[in-house]
Structure formats: structure tokens, C-alpha cells
A and B are shown apart, each in its own frame.
Chain A
Amino acid sequence: MSVAIPRTAVTAARRFIDRWLFRLSGPEAAPVVLGQRRVFVLPTAAGVAFAATVLLLLIGSINYGLGLGYALTFLLAGLGFVAILHAFRNLVHLKIEYGRCEPVIAGSIARFPLVLSNGRDDARIALALSAGGGTPVIADVAPRAAETAALRVVARRRGWQPIGRVRLHTTFPLGLVRAWSYVEPDLRCLVYPAPERDAPPLPPSGDAADGRRPGAAGSEDFSGLRDHRPSDSPRHVAWKSAARGDALLTKLFEDGGSEPLWLDWDRLPAGLDTEARLSRLCAHVLLAKSSGASFGLRLPGGAIAPGRGAAHVEACLKALALYGEPDGD
């Protein structure tokens, strides 16, 4: 306990500093403009060395009575002050908007695009952005222009991954002073579960619960023809008419006539835990997508009706990503 109390005190103090000093209180909606009160400046190690040099030059000028030495010393001291303002100015009033995060698979790298707009007639140079302790991305923003900086953060687990606290800093132009600011953008990335490696093949089509046998996809329920679309399965191409030299046509079947593939949580082996099930289902969704088959997804507490196409696949993956998440929106 004697350790725990200070720890909570430290946490509370840090939260207080975040709110009061860094003006952070939860994710902020775009656009964020870095106001003067949230840009901070401190000398870098190089800046301290520079100050020590200026002091030595001053002592030398006094000791040898060098009138022009005083001028040199004071010009450099002035340059140090000007460097503070230039570093500050390089960051202040920067406008930050958010781009769209493409969903990624857990374990890969999530890219959070931040759009930096510079409203000034002066370029902003060497802005470093980092999130989650990753290596910083360096961006230059031309005068009155915008630049997209994509922050790369490792997506560790499925679900919504917020970008978290972003640190913007710059030591430009002289490297003597670092200006920095924290932003917590309301920006998150959807992380799909990592698909299981060497997953078993897709389960057979059809719904065993409905008592239908797999493989009985009925060609006898043929209901008509329509123009072929690239997403249609080659199994349904009307090859006979194609052979006659006509355009490619797709054979349509009665609803339920073609047995849809159901990826079902409950039909996975009993020994698998939740994450393993989600991984397996994810692998199956990807397999089904590449096979072009129509498939549905059934999870405890909900199901996605069978379908095809990119939007359908995304909906399924999203459902897997957010399964059981409190923020399962």
C-alpha cells in the first residue's frame, strides 16, 4: 500500500498537469489549432552548449577588452533569443485535421493520417510528430498549404485503436530550442483480428442446422440470366451461351436455391477460446472473399446475412473486430 498511494498521487498529478498545462482533456474533434498557450519551449542540449559558449565568449571579451567581441557575443545571445521565437512560431497556430484511417490487421502497422495546414506565408519546416513512443514522422508544410503526415503505430490488438496522445515538436531552425505540444486527436483505427495462420479450409456450404446437405447447390432452381459482373463466381457463368459467342451471362438461382456459406461461431471446435475463434473466422472470411462465394457470418448475439463484395467483407471483419468490445459501435 505504501507504494500504491504515491502511485495514485502521481497519476492524479499527471492528469492534473495534462489538463491544466497541456490542455488535454480527452480526444479533441478536428480541427485542432495549436494555440499559444499549448506550445511550450525549452532549450535542447545543443542550446545549453550554445549558451555556455556565449558565456565563454563574454568572459573572453571582458578579459581581453574586445569591444567587437562584446558585439559578437551579444549578437549570438540575441540569436539565441530569436531562435526561441522561431521554434515557437514554427509550431504555433498550426492547424491539424484528421484523415481517414484504413482498417488494419492486428500486429501490423496502423497509419493515422494527420493533415497539417499552414496558414502562413512562411514554410513550417521539420515538424516531428510521434504517437505511442514510435519514431517521429518529419513533415515540412509549404506556405499556405497542407501536408499529410501519416503516423505509424503498431496495432497490437483488435478493436478500435485510438491514436492516443500525439507529440508535435520541432527544433527548427537552429536546433537550440525545442518547441512542443501535445494533441489527442479524436481519431481511431479499426483493427481486425489477426487471421489464423494455416487455418483449416472453409466449412462446406449450406446450413447444417437447416438439415440441408452440403454440395446440393441446386442448379435445378435456375431462374434466369443477367449480364455478368466481375464479382460473380465463375461457377455461375452461362458457359453454354458464352460458347455460342454471346456476351458473358450469369445464371441466377432462386433465393435459397444456392446454398450460402455460413461462417458460424458455434460450429467451431469447442476447444478454441474467443480470440482463437475470431482469428479462425477472420481467416475464413478472407478465404471466402478470395473464393468469391456468398457467405454469412453468425456470432453469438447476431448474424450478418449472406452476401458478397467489399462492403460485405468489411462489415463481417468489423463485426469480428468489435466482438465483445465495450465500445462495440
Chain B
Amino acid sequence: MTRSGEGAAKPPPSAPGAPPGDAAPGPLRRAAGRLRVSRFEVTIAVALVVAATAPLGVAVWQAGRLTEHALAFGLDPRVVDRLESIPALYLEIFRSRKQLYAEQAREVARGLPRDPARGTKYLGAAVADTPRLRRAVWLAPGGDVLAEAEDTAPLPEGEWRDAPARVELPGGGTLECTFAIEARFFAELDEARAVAERSRDFERLGGEIRSGLIRSFGSMVILAALVAAMIGLLIARGTTRRVSQLVAATRRLAAGDLAVQVDPGRSGDEVAGLARAFNAMVREVRESRDRIVYLEKISGWQEVARRLAHEIKNPLTPMKLAFQQLEVRWARSPAKDADPALGKAVKEAAEILRDEIGTLQRLVEEFSSFAKLPEVKPEPAELGDFVEEFVRTSPQISERAEVEIVRAAPSCPVALDRALFRRVLANLCANAVEAALPARARVRLGVARTRDRAVLTVADEGPGIEPAVRERIFDPYFTTKGTGTGLGLAIVKKLVLQHGGEIQAGERPGGGASFSVVLPLRADPSGAAPD
């Protein structure tokens, strides 16, 4: 998100008749703006999706082939045919068993005694001798039981079920035999039938199963692509949003908004570095523009001052000479004693004229001084040492104020025109002293530094400066004092700007005014950048 510095935080008002879209964006528009996808984001997201899905596309094709192979193995028609023929095999097994049991039952029937009284004994022996014969019942034609026998001995381990075999006897009657057959045959048959039916289902549904698996895999690929696209967008947005902000900020800068700034974020990547460099560039451009504008303005005022001084000075000298001659002649004139009232009036007028001529002379001198500010010729200096030397060699300041020097940084190498920067300090300290009147002033001179700048602070404990006038306080001929020309701070600012620095008026914590003079740190003679 771009942000504006001081003086540009508020968006410009819409022009009359401008469409609603030109108005300040509302929450909905801001939300829509956040959701809008830039081309850069789309490019990165598409690249990620392509990178993610290209192998998956091949995988889909391979999956189709694998599914085909797997189904071909699993649904081999010969396997399905063999599975479907299993019940027929059991049918043959069961028929064989039933034939065996029927033959065994007929064998038992052939040996039945004629006398039913001996039937029970015979059947008991037959049951005992015939494998898996569990029970034999001899029934009369009418259904009455003539004899019966049952094997109560336990069968071998496992489940068994009954297999009946019925023999019609030649002389009438029936022999009903019950054999035991392994129940596992039926369980195995059921399982084989279930497997065979499932294989048959799969064979019928083979095409659909293959399609379903491919559709499933394809759906997962699409899902993966969507997730990749979303992640890509999220990742891309982190970078592209800042790039988009830089683009927007650059457009605002091109449109003349020198207050625009870009949030570099907490990242330490190249984009964040670019944002910081952009902010520094804009700040530098803004300061340069302000400096140029101010210096041009000051130059104009200097020209005005020069002309004013010239225009005032030209008639002032003859006026002064003429007045002095008039005073001499009046002193010798007999009229002076003849009319005492006239003498008194002339004397009072002479005093007024003398004072005003003196005032005009001082004004001319100040104007001339302002108009003829010399060129700044900076030379290497240590700011802290310079401030200490200034205080030590400026009794007019130390006599009128309690001066405290605070050096927060041990070294602040700068480039100063010592004579002119003394004037800067003298003006600022004089302002501080006058602000404290009639009390004795307390002036605090602070020397500190940032990464690439030295900061000199002149703070007092006076009434401070109204925020409303801070913007104009450096304008020439603007003063809040009853006396003075309003040129002192203008001269200060011009000199500071000519040193490549800046000055700002502010408020001292705890009350009072504070002027901050920021100067560029002098490059190390060895070529190393300021730390």
C-alpha cells in the first residue's frame, strides 16, 4: 500500500463533475482492489500450475495405461470363465457324492433282513461300517418305522451337513439314509460364487471402472492444479502486490506527488530493497525540490532586499546630510533664542528625525546583509567540536543563557563553512534567548547522527512556536516578535540549505521550541561510506 508523507496524506478532492469512480475508494472498492489479480500474479500462477500439472498430465496418461493393464490382468476373460465354471465343478462334485451315497444306501438296502426285528441290529452295523452314514431308517410302505439306527459317534472336526439318500425297497417300503457331507463345500461354493459374480460384474463394468479411475485421477489433478494455482497466487501476491504498489507509486510520482511512499514491508528481498530505494529517492527529490524552491524564493527576496536597501539608502544619505546641515545652521540661528517654543518643537522633531534615520540605516544594513549573503565554502569539521567551540567563543550567548551541550554521537563528520554556520547557531541561540525573556534562557544544544546524517538540535524552554506558524517561520520578513525584520530564520534556513541540509521547527518535549538542523555526513576521506 502506498502511503503519503507529510502534506500529502489526504487524497486530493474530486474535481467538480468528476465521475464517482474518481472519488476516494470506499471499503468495497478497496476490497475489490485487493482481490483483483494482476497480470504479473497470473503469470506466476500460470507458471506454477504448468509446472505442477505438466507432469501430472503425463501421470494421467500413465494412470490410464496402468488401469488398462490392471483391468486386463484382473479381468482376463479366461479367468472370468474359469471362475464362472466353479459352480459347475461343485455340481459335479455333489453329483458324485450323491451317487456315492445312493450306491452305499442301495448296498445297505440289499443286505436288509427279511425280518424287521433284526433290522435294527443290521442297520446299526451298517451305520457303523458305512463311511459317513449317520442314520438309517427302514420305513414300511405305510410310513411306519420298522427299524432305525444312528451313529452317535462324533464326526471329524469341522462342520457337516446332512445328505439324504432314499432307496425304494423291492418288497415295498423305503430305506432312508442320511449321510454327512462337509459343510465347507457349500461355504466354498458360496464364496466362489460371490467371487465369480463380482468378476462378472467387473467384466461388465470394466469400461466404466477404467473411466471412473481416470476421471478420479483427472479430478485429483485438476484439484491439485487449483490448489497449486491458489498457492501460486498467494506466493505471487506477496511479491507482485509490492511491485504493483511500486508501479502505482511511480505513476503518482510522475504525476507530481512527491509525498508518495511505499511500504517496503518486513521482507529483506530485492523488492523490499527497491521499495526502500524508491522511498529514499522520492525523499531526496522532495528535499531537493523544496531546497530549490526555497532558495529561489530567498533569492527573490534577496533581490527585493537589495533594491529596497538601494532605494532607501540613496535618498537617506542626502537626507541625513541635509538634516545635519540644518541642525548646524539652527544652532547658529538667532531665531533659536527668539522663539523658545519654536526651538523646543524643532528640537523634538530633530530627535525624531535622527531616530528614524538611524532605524532606516539599520534596516538598510540588514537588508544589505541579507542581500549579500556570501557563498558557502564548506570544509571538513566535526559538528560536536564545532558546537563546543561556538559556545566557548560566544560570550554574548553564554552570558545570557544556560547552555547545555549533549553529544549523543562521538563522531559527526560534516562539511561546514565555519563563519556562516556560526551565524546559523548565533541566530538560533539568539532566538532562544529572546524567547525566554525576561527570564534567563536555558538552551540545549544536541548533536546526534543517523545512518547517513548528522542532527543538530537547538531547543529552549520558552513558549514554543505555534503549529500554525511553523510553516511560515522561515519565510523572509515573517516575525512573531514586536521588533526585528523577520530575516534571521530565513538567513538560517538558506545557509543550512546551502550546506546541503534541512531545518525543521518543532516542539521540545516538556515545552519550548526545538529546531533540528540535519546535515549530510561527510564521506570518509578513505572512501568508505558513513557507517
A complexed with B: no
